[in-house]
A and B are shown apart, each in its own frame.
Chain A
Amino acid sequence: MATTLTPAPAKKPDAPREPRRRKVRAPRTAGFWTYAALIAFLLGSLFPVYWSLVVASHDNDAIGKVPPVLTPGGHLFENIARVFDTTAFGQALFNSFLVSSTVTVSVVLFSTLAGFAFAKLRFRGRKGLLVAAIATTTVPHQLGIIPLYIMMGELGWTGRIEAVIVPGLVTAFGVFFMTQYLSSAVPDELLEAGRMDGCTTIRLFWHVVLPAARPAAAVLGLFTFMQAWNDFFWPLVVLTPENPTVQVALSTLASGYTTDFALVLTGTVIATVPMVVVFALLGRQIIGGIMSGAIKG
């Protein structure tokens, strides 16, 4: 809660209102049970991630112990080495970084361009096209997966990383998000002033819109990167275990019939660490993005 900006000096006639306000707000302060419940919820949220780290740092025999081992052991690096020996995890990490960063740059750039046009420029068919773009955000994308697979086959991209990158280059959500943001972030007067000074549209975009779009572009970029990193179903369908993304490599690792939990959960730790690092550094922005109400998962 932002502190209420009451510009009331203590001796004003309406000063007696202050104590009453305080009294009213008092019950909304968190008490012991609120903290207890929230901490319990938090522990539940953290436990599976912590647990994967525990299993990943022991050898596989530790898993059957009763009561279960709850503290990290000393086998993490050994297990990591085994993961890289068992599957193409190095290739997978490279591929995932390539896919996620390419897709992020492209989505942010094209969404900002289109968002600028929809929010600030006047052209025929603007409304209709915008509605069309927004409507498509609600269509379940798994619907098109079979024709997409056929198309990738025709292009000769099956099993290749292009098959994962190219369909992700634009998202309707990104366009919607940037349109919303830019329509309020860039004042029309500023653009008009730019026009008066003889700015072309592309220079307006470059010098006025792009700087103003930075905060929203950062949030959109973060979400796009995380989504691309965690994307699983389409890469699973179109890629092979020899040239996978991290998530596909992880599912290959888990699909062995031996139950080497230490190995498999070490894989999950490796796959999760980049996301946790991003989250630790930029969590505030992510939360801001979700709470601004426009992000959907």
Chain B
Amino acid sequence: MTSVTTRPRRRLAYTLDVKGSPYIYIAPFFLLFGALGLFPLLYTAYVSMTDWNLLETTRQWVGFENYAELLTDDYFWNALFNTVSIWLLSTIPQLLVALVVAHMLNRSLRARTFFRMGVLLPNITSIVAVTIIFAQLFGRDFGMVNWAIQLVGLDPIDWQAGTLSSHIAISMIVIWRWTGYNALIYLAAMQAVPDHLYEAATIDGAGQWTQFWKITIPMLRPTIIFTAVVSTIGGFQIIAEPLLFQSGTGNPTGGSDRQFQTVGLYLYEQGFGLYEFGYASAIAWTLCLIIVVMALVNFSITRRIKSG
């Protein structure tokens, strides 16, 4: 169809289209992401080396001083302790319960979609709404949790005041929101386990629980690693829950004695409560480093789950 004279031009257009156009398609992503995602990350490193306070309009190069100060900052270590504590208290029960729930969902069930949607519902609610609801449920005076505790004859607890009690209450928020989600991830992995493994085990006389521990768990190893690492990345960045759990919220101290201030919340207090941008950036990079280390530790621990 093409006439001889137009052919070279067409070929050029074709070559340009095939070789060049891919870059146009990926350009919006890389330009926007570079400017608003990657650049801020790198710039944080620079800001963390300065004494930069928005209110005093000071801006001075101080090298690693902020980091040195951070290492001797009691509030930082306190926040790190709280973060680890809340992370452990929320992640371990969450993943264990999720495994059991997934195991139950994996049986042949009536109303399968109904159950699946039901367990996922907490995950679509906003952290803000859920934390407000839980803060009320765990309230000292009118909270339903204390009412239930008194029913069984125990003394009511001032959940916010104690270190452990506040950590438990905050962990409950995380557990409630994420267990069903992780259960669905596990369920998907369980459905990929070949049936003949279970059939063979049943023939060999292995019971339900033996099958669960000896077949399901090992076969789910990659998925368990995945969820453990994701929970680590998320758990160490926790901010909204402790921020909103405090009554008369908006106060980023995480309780009157900082008993539930997390590292993320301390970053928020330094950065947007006191406008110490330099110091807050140093916290950000330190937190990032901790997350990477913890994710690797987690990876190597969960990798030890025996496979096959």
B234 touching A172 by the CB < 8 A rule? no
Contacts of A247 in B (CB 8 A): 126, 128
Q: Which residues of A in the span 110-125 have a Cβ within 8 Å of any Cβ on B?
A: 110-111, 113-114, 116-118, 121-123
Chain B residues touching A, majority SS? helix
- Chain B positions within 8 Å of A184 at CB level: none
Verify if A148 is at the interface (C-beta below 8 Å from B).
yes
A23 to chain B minimum Cβ distance, whole angstroms, is 9
Instruction: Mark interface residues in A154-169 (1 if CB within 8 Å of B CB, else 0).
Output: 0000000000001101
B266-298 interface (Cβ within 8 A of A)? 267-268, 271-272, 277, 280-281, 284-285, 287-288, 291
In the complex, A267 Cα to B90 Cα: how many Å?
27
Contact residues of B between 24 and 82, Cβ < 8 Å to A: 25-26, 28-30, 32-33, 36-41, 43-44, 47
Q: What residues on A are CB-neighbors of B285 within 8 Å?
A: 143
Q: Does B208 count as interface, using CB distance less than 8 angstroms?
A: yes
Q: Nearest Cβ distance between residue B56 and chain A, in whole angstroms?
A: 15
Q: Which residues of A contact B187 (CB under 8 A)?
A: 291
Query: Which residues of the other chain, A, contact B234 by a CB distance below 8 angstroms?
Result: 297
| Chain B residues positioned under 8 Å from A118 (CB to CB) | 26
B142 touching A261, Cβ below 8 Å: yes
Pairwise interchain contact A28-B107, C-beta atoms closer than 8 A: yes
Smallest beta-carbon distance B244→chain A, Å: 6
Give the distance to chain B from A107, nearest Cβ to Cβ, in Å. Answer: 10
**Contact across chains for A146 and B47 when beta carbons are under 8 A apart:** yes
- Docked complex Cα distance between A77 and B176 (Å): 28
CB-based nearest B residue for A171: B33
Q: How far is the CB of A51 from chain B (nearest CB, A)?
A: 7
For B144, list chain A residues within 8 Å (CB).
Answer: 51, 68
Q: Contact: A146 with B281, CB < 8 Å?
A: yes
* A63–B126 CA distance with the chains assembled, in angstroms: 23
Whether B132 lies near A136 (C-beta < 8 A) is no
Name the A residues within 8 Å of B30 (CB-CB). Answer: 129, 133
Question: Is B164's CB within 8 Å of the partner chain A?
Answer: no
From the candidates B37, B118, B130, name the one contacting A46 in the complex (CB within 8 A): B118
Q: Which residues of B contact A117 (CB under 8 A)?
A: 22-23, 25-26
**Interface membership of A272, Cβ < 8 A:** yes
Q: Which B residues touch A251, using CB under 8 A?
A: 128, 243-244, 249-250
Contacts of B199 in A (CB 8 A): 21, 24-25
Q: How far is the CB of B185 from chain A (nearest CB, A)?
A: 7
Interface residues on B, range: 35 or more
**Is B257 close to A, CB under 8 A?**
no
Is B239 at the interface (CB under 8 A from chain A)?
yes
Chain A 16-51: CB-based contact to B (< 8 A → 1; otherwise 0): 000001001101111000110110011011101101
A268–B272 CB distance below 8 A: no
Tell me the bound Cα distance from A247 to B130 in angstroms.
Answer: 11
- How far does the alpha carbon of A278 sit from the alpha carbon of B120 in the complex, in Å? 13
B247 within 8 A of A: yes
The answer on a CB contact under 8 Å between A140 and B233 is yes
**CB–CB A147/B185 < 8 A:** no
A254 touching B43 in the complex, CB below 8 Å, given contacts A121-B22, A126-B22:
no
Which B residues, 230 to 272, have Cβ-Cβ distances below 8 Å to chain A? Answer: 230, 233-234, 236-237, 239-240, 243-244, 247-250, 264, 267-268, 271-272
Complex CA distance for A246 and B126, rounded to whole angstroms: 10
Q: Is A190 an interface residue (CB 8 A)?
A: no
Q: How far is the CA of A45 from the CA of B125 in the complex (A)?
A: 11
Chain A residues with CB under 8 Å of B159's CB are none
Q: Is B136 an interface residue (CB 8 A)?
A: yes
Which one of A146, A169, A254, A255 has the greatest number of beta carbons of chain B within 10 Å?
Answer: A146
State A201–B32 Cα separation when bound (angstroms): 23
Interchain CB contact under 8 A, A230 and B127: yes
Residues of A within 8 A of B240 (CB): 232-233
Residues on the A chain within 8 Å of B280, using CB: 146
Bound: A114/B27 CA distance, A: 8
- Picked from A38, A170, A291, A296, the residue with its CB within 8 Å of the CB of B33 is A170
Contacting residue for B264 out of A44, A126, A142, A201, CB 8 A: A142
Q: Which B residues are in CB contact (< 8 Å) with A275? A: 124-126
Q: Which of B36, B176, B248 contacts A148 (CB 8 A)?
A: B36
14 A-B pairs with C-beta separation under 8 A:
A34-B109, A48-B130, A110-B32, A123-B22, A136-B37, A143-B44, A169-B36, A201-B17, A230-B126, A265-B133, A267-B129, A268-B132, A279-B124, A287-B116
14 further A-B pairs in the complex, CB-CB below 8 A; given A230-B127, A267-B129, A287-B113: A45-B118, A46-B121, A48-B130, A52-B129, A63-B136, A118-B26, A139-B288, A143-B287, A146-B271, A150-B277, A205-B25, A232-B127, A254-B249, A268-B132
